């Protein structure tokens, strides 16, 4: 294990920002801290970076307790949401900054800066100043600057959130490729589930200062344990037990035994088939065309469903339909 986080808690006055966080990060692992605004992601990242002291708990990195190691001695590369480049320095000077303050010799600095410029595909822009760069280019420089000092761990705090959708997609791919190539353990904060699904080996879904579920992207999407995770990661149709019993009793077969009043059935939109049927129990409310697929909004008794299809295929507002839910693709989640 590269990083072991044990029992970390942090309060701001009476407000509990982190409650008893336990987590491990493997040698080459890419971990995403995912959750809505205010759930404690940045606070946890800052504790790991050494920029904020936890009230309780322990951080161990490569077998060494970090409690006495200040942020600057941890040798972690940090990239923040705002690019935070030095405005009066060129691209090359920004990237070489960390090496210069370590008094590395000029030849080594020049060589390292040149390697990193190649890595981020910006060799031709080495003499530009930050204000002469696009947002995506600035964020690439920030990443290269963090990598220049051969960090033992990379910490990324929403590095892509200021970029427009197309550039964000490109940058995601680049961060993914760079991290895979260098194999440095990485922790990234994001509230964007799509980003987490694409980049992470492991997603840590946080809720109100606690960890709700840790797992691979497939685990969180296909096997969420709680309603919160099912709702936050991807789109889900959540059906209360009483509804399932009344309308689709055959789906009750896989429900965990025992007293579970607080269980709901989670069904993803792509796991429901829609059939036109004159006396079907459900009604199409609208069909949204999304390019490569359509979302069909359907009312069935008192529940609204979202179903994903390749095309409209004759479905229109007001059409009567029946829905086939694949029992093997559903999972029960706690509320
Ligand atoms: P976002 O996605 O909006 O950045 P987040 O999940 O990263 O959210 P944090 O920044 O970790 O959330 O904040 C968690 C909670 O702690 C929030 O309610 C925030 O208001 C509070 N908080 C964070 N820093 C401080 C501080 N220095 N003083 C007081 N409260 C703070």
The residues facing 162 across adjacent strands are none
How many Å lie between the centroid of ligand 1 and the Cα of residue 260? Answer: 34
How many Å lie between the centroid of ligand 1 and the Cα of residue 97? Answer: 29
From the alpha carbon of 45, which atom of ligand 1 is closest? 11
Give nearest CA residue, ligand 1 atom 16. Answer: 17
The ligand 1 site (C-beta within 6 Å) comprises: 12, 15, 17, 35, 37-43, 191
Res 311 pLDDT > 70:
yes
Res 261 pLDDT > 80:
no
The residues facing 287 across adjacent strands are 296
Residue 49 and residue 155 in contact, taking contact as beta carbons nearer than 8 Å? yes
pLDDT of residue 90: 96
Average model confidence (pLDDT) for the chain? 92
**pLDDT tens, position by position, 28-38:** 999 999 999 99
Give nearest CA residue, ligand 1 atom 28. Answer: 12
Question: Distance between CA atoms of 199 and 30, rounded to whole angstroms?
Answer: 7
* Distance, C-alpha 201 to centroid of its chain: 10
**pLDDT tens, position by position, 170-183:** 888 888 988 998 89
Q: Where are the domains of the chain?
A: 3-224, 235-334
Res 259 pLDDT > 80:
no
Residues above pLDDT 70, as percent of the chain: 99
4 token code pair: 């072991």
164 token code pair: 């427009």
SS3 78: strand
Question: Distance between CA atoms of 162 and 181, rounded to whole angstroms?
Answer: 25
Q: Alpha helices of the chain — where are they, by DSSP H?
A: 41-49, 71-74, 91-100, 106-119, 135-148, 165-182, 193-199, 217-222, 227-232, 241-247
pLDDT of residue 293: 93
**pLDDT tens, position by position, 266-290:** 999 999 999 999 999 999 999 999 9
pLDDT category of residue 169 using cuts at 50, 70 and 90: confident
- Region of residue 301 (left: phi > 0; alpha: psi -120 to 50; beta: else): left
Q: What is the largest CA-CA distance in the chain?
A: 80
How many Å lie between the centroid of ligand 1 and the Cα of residue 52? Answer: 12
Give nearest CA residue, ligand 1 atom 7. Answer: 42
Q: Does domain 3-224 have CATH number 3.40.50.300?
A: yes
DSSP string, 263-299: EEEEE-GGGEEEEE-TT-SEEEEEEEE-SS-EEEEEE
pLDDT of residue 257: 77
**Residue whose tokens read 């059906």:** 239
Q: What is the mean pLDDT of residues 110-114?
A: 94
CA atoms within 13 A on the CB side of 185: 17
Pocket test for ligand 1, best of 17, 156, 158, 209 (most atoms within 8 A of CB): 17
How many Å lie between the centroid of ligand 1 and the Cα of residue 45? Answer: 11
How many Å lie between the centroid of ligand 1 and the Cα of residue 16? Answer: 10
Question: Distance between CA atoms of 304 and 2, rounded to whole angstroms?
Answer: 45
Question: Distance between CA atoms of 189 and 207, rounded to whole angstroms?
Answer: 13
pLDDT category of residue 83 using cuts at 50, 70 and 90: low
How many Å lie between the centroid of ligand 1 and the Cα of residue 276? Answer: 48
How many Å lie between the centroid of ligand 1 and the Cα of residue 40? Answer: 6
Pairing of strands 294-300, 282-289: antiparallel
Pocket test for ligand 1, best of 42, 45, 192, 208 (most atoms within 8 A of CB): 42
**pLDDT tens, position by position, 183-233:** 999 999 999 999 999 999 999 999 999 999 999 999 999 999 999 999 999
Q: Which of 196, 229, 211 is nearest to 333 (CA)?
A: 229
Give nearest CA residue, ligand 1 atom 17. Answer: 38
More confident residue, 162 or 105: 105
| Superfamily name with CATH number, domain 235-334 | Nucleic acid-binding proteins (2.40.50.140)
How far is CA 232 from each of CA 14, 227, 256, 273, 290, rounded to the nearest angstrom? Answer: 27, 8, 23, 23, 20
Give nearest CA residue, ligand 1 atom 20. Answer: 38
pLDDT of residue 307: 96
Q: What are phi and psi of 318, to 5 degrees?
A: 90, -10
pLDDT category of residue 260 using cuts at 50, 70 and 90: low
Give nearest CA residue, ligand 1 atom 24. Answer: 43
How many Å lie between the centroid of ligand 1 and the Cα of residue 44? Answer: 10
């Amino acid at each position: 294990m590269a990083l072991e986080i044990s029992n970390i808690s942090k309060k701001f006055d009476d407000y509990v920002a982190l409650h008893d966080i336990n987590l491990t990060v493997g040698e080459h692992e890419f971990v995403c801290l995912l959750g809505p605004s205010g759930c404690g992601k940045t606070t946890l990242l800052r504790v790991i970076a050494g920029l904020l002291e936890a009230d309780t708990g322990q951080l161990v990195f490569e077998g060494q307790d970090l409690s006495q190691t200040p942020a600057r001695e941890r040798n972690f590369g940090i990239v923040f949401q705002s690019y935070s480049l030095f405005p009066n320095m060129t691209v090359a000077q920004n990237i070489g900054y960390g090496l210069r303050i370590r008094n590395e010799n000029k030849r080594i600095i020049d060589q390292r800066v040149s390697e990193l410029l190649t890595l981020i595909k910006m060799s031709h822009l080495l003499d530009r100043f930050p204000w002469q760069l696009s947002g995506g280019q600035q964020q690439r420089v920030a990443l290269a600057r963090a990598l220049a000092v051969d960090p033992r761990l990379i910490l990324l705090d929403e590095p892509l959130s200021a970029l427009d959708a197309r550039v964000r997609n490109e940058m995601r791919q680049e961060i993914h490729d760079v991290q895979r190539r260098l194999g440095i353990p990485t922790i990234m904060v994001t509230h964007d589930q799509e980003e987490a699904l694409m980049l992470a080996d492991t997603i840590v879904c946080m809720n109100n200062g606690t960890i709700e579920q840790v797992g691979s992207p497939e685990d969180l999407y296909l096997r969420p344990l709680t309603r919160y995770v099912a709702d936050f990661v991807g789109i889900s149709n959540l059906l209360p037990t009483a509804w399932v019993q009344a309308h689709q009793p055959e789906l009750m077969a896989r429900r965990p035994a025992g007293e579970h009043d607080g269980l709901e059935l989670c069904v993803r939109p792509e796991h429901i088939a829609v059939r036109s049927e004159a006396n079907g129990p459900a009604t199409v409310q609208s069909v949204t065309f999304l390019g490569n697929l359509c979302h069909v909004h359907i009312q069935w008794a008192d529940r609204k469903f979202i179903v994903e299809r390749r095309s409209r295929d004759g479905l229109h507002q007001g059409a009567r339909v029946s829905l086939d839910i694949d029992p093997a693709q559903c999972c029960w989640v706690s509320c």
